[in-house]
Amino acid sequence: LPQFFCSLIYCLIHVSQDSPLVLQSDRNVTVNARNHMGQLTGQLTVGADAVEAQCKRFEVRASEGGKVLFSADEDEIVIGADRLKVTGTEGAVFGHSVETPHIRAEPSQDLKLESPTRSLVMEAPRGVQVNAAAGDLKATCRKELHLQSTEGEIFLNADTIRLGNLPVGSFSSSSSSSSSSSSSPSSSASRQTIYELCVCPNGKLYLSPAGAGSTCQSSSNICLWS
């Protein structure tokens, strides 16, 4: 093979058909591009540990059609592939915000948004939509779950709305005098099947055995201890 110990300058280097072009060095191979004034405008270095490119914009295009698959410059990095697949067990880690119009899981796979140590925030100026077209939607947390609307309303629309594990408040005999039942509260509560939904001044919900009139009391034990 020919060896060159100084610079080799050619306008065109080509090989015969079906033969590869090999540039080989025991250290690294560097390809430079310069302008008419001799200033370096681009550089590609293939070394033993890394491949480095220094240029204003780096692009990777598809062999057919010339579609940009990957591009990088000082302002942004663009991935133009139809699908970006991250196979690492830890997934993708973003140090700052993530902006996307659509998040979805693989077919037959669950979508999980999780923040193990801090909070999870989703913001949009015109609303955030979470949709489970063919399954359940579940939101769980360790402490408190807040649903807040500063200017609008919170609208629950379903065939059945259930509030599970609501406490049952106690009521005095005077407040139950209007009830159609004349038995004691304990015996009445054991046979009670219809309850009234009551709200404490602080917003806590509790159940009270339904009667002919309202059995909710602002002095209920639920409100006092909440």
pLDDT digits (tens, 9 = 90+) for 149-193: 888 888 888 889 888 889 888 655 554 443 333 334 445 555 778
Domain count, the chain: 1
pLDDT, position 218:
61
What is the pairing mode between strands 51-54 and 77-79?
A: unpaired
**Would 212 be classed as within a structural domain?**
yes
**Would 204 be classed as within a structural domain?**
yes
CA distance 19 to 35: 30
Report DSSP letters for 71-122, one per residue.
Answer: EE-SS-EEE-SS-----STT----SS----S---PPTT-------SSS----
The pTM of this model reads: 0.49
pLDDT digits (tens, 9 = 90+) for 197-218: 999 988 889 998 888 888 887 6
* Range of 93-97, 100-104, 135-139, 156-160 with top mean pLDDT: 156-160
**Average pLDDT across the chain, whole number:** 81
**Would 220 be classed as within a structural domain?**
yes
**Would 161 be classed as within a structural domain?**
no
Instruction: Answer yes or no: is pLDDT of 71 > 90.
Output: yes
Above pLDDT 70, what percent of the chain?
Answer: 88
pLDDT, position 81:
87
> Which residue range(s) make up the domain with 221?
194-225
